[in-house]
Amino acid sequence: MPFITFKIDDDRSEETFGRLAKAVTDAVMATLGSQPQWVTIVFETYPRSRWSSGGALQDRDNAVEGSRPFISVKFHKGRQADKKRQVAAGITDAVVSVLGGERDWVTVVFDDYAQEDWAIGGRLQLDRHGPVPPPDPV
């Protein structure tokens, strides 16, 4: 169950955020086999004047071209590096297809959590689903 946080400038319409949420959800579902209701996305938006690049705050006179979203993906430990590559590529492709820009402008980081470190509805994932089986050998 991935939980995805976008840090992105607020220069977007609600329609654009909706298209971005759908494209990223579809990419994650295709890669991980997740159900859409298991993919949670939150957008943390900031005015460009609160973004810095090269030590300078961005403003109309000093703006870096294009958006440079920072995306954090949280899920259970045990994902193979190859699966993370696929998730990162899928999310990056989704972002570029919706927002435009360059692939190198998109940053994706992974935060892996043990089942005993993640609770939903007051119950640890370990108690909700039992132990995650070990990953398949490479």
Q: Can you tell me whether residue 87 is helix, strand or coil? A: helix
Q: Give every CB contact of residue 75 below 8 A, 6+ residues apart in sequence.
A: 1, 2, 3, 110, 111, 112, 113
Q: Can you tell me whether residue 46 is helix, strand or coil? A: strand
Least Cα distance to 73 among 99, 126, 34 occurs for 34
pTM of this prediction?
A: 0.83
Distance CA 49, CA 33 (A): 38
Q: Which segment of 34-48, 60-74, 104-118 scores lowest on mean pLDDT?
A: 60-74
* pLDDT at residue 63 tops 90: no
Name the CA dihedral angle for 70, 76, 77, 78, rounded to a multiple of 10 degrees: -110
* pLDDT for 73: 96
Q: What is the pLDDT of residues 74-123, one digit of tens each?
A: 988 888 999 999 999 999 999 999 998 899 989 999 999 888 888 888 98
Least Cα distance to 77 among 111, 112, 108, 110 occurs for 112
Q: What average pLDDT is seen over the chain?
A: 85
